Amino acid sequence: AQSVTQPDIHITVSEGASLELRCNYSYGATPYLFWYVQSPGQGLQLLLKYFSGDTLVQGIKGFEAEFKRSQSSFNLRKPSVHWSDAAEYFCAVGAGTGNQFYFGTGTSLTVIP
């Protein structure tokens, strides 16, 4: 069965520190992978996506993610966190042009000054 696991429910980092949010997936076919960010009371915004090719993908707001097929992982990273990055982050897997998307339960990020 398809599933996405985000093992960290909540992470706190200091402003300027590096960040890594973990995501593991279970998917029977070649996955399409996504990271979304959600600010309180708002919809989800796409940070980045991986469909194929280079396994290190760059996204908006200085985020990047690396697809590791052997580990079934798609971890999100940022070298230096800004206070405005405080939000909820969701990893998702999809079938590309299909109609099924599976989301993790999210990781809440707190940034302390």
Partner 1 sequence: SQTIHQWPATLVQPVGSPLSLECTVEGTSNPNLYWYRQAAGRGLQLLFYSVGIGQISSEVPQNLSASRPQDRQFILSSKKLLLSDSGFYLCAWSGNTGELFFGEGSRLTVL
Chain residues that interact with partner 1, rule: CB under 8 A: 32, 34, 36, 41-46, 49, 51, 90, 92, 94, 96-97, 99, 101, 103-106
Distance CA 66, CA 108 (A): 20
Q: How far is the CB of 90 from partner 1 (least distance, A)?
A: 7
Cα end-to-end distance, the chain, whole Å: 41
DSSP 15: T
Strands (E), 1-113: 3-5, 10-14, 19-21, 24-26, 32-38, 44-50, 56-58, 64-68, 73-78, 87-94, 101-103, 107-112
Q: How far is the CB of 99 from partner 1 (least distance, A)?
A: 5
Token representation of residue 30 = 């070649």
Residue 17 or 46: the one with the smaller Cβ distance to partner 1 is 46
Residue 28 or 40: the one with the smaller Cβ distance to partner 1 is 40
Q: How far is the CB of 18 from partner 1 (least distance, A)?
A: 25
Residue 72 or 102: the one with the smaller Cβ distance to partner 1 is 102
Residue 80 or 101: the one with the smaller Cβ distance to partner 1 is 101
Q: How far is the CB of 62 from partner 1 (least distance, A)?
A: 19
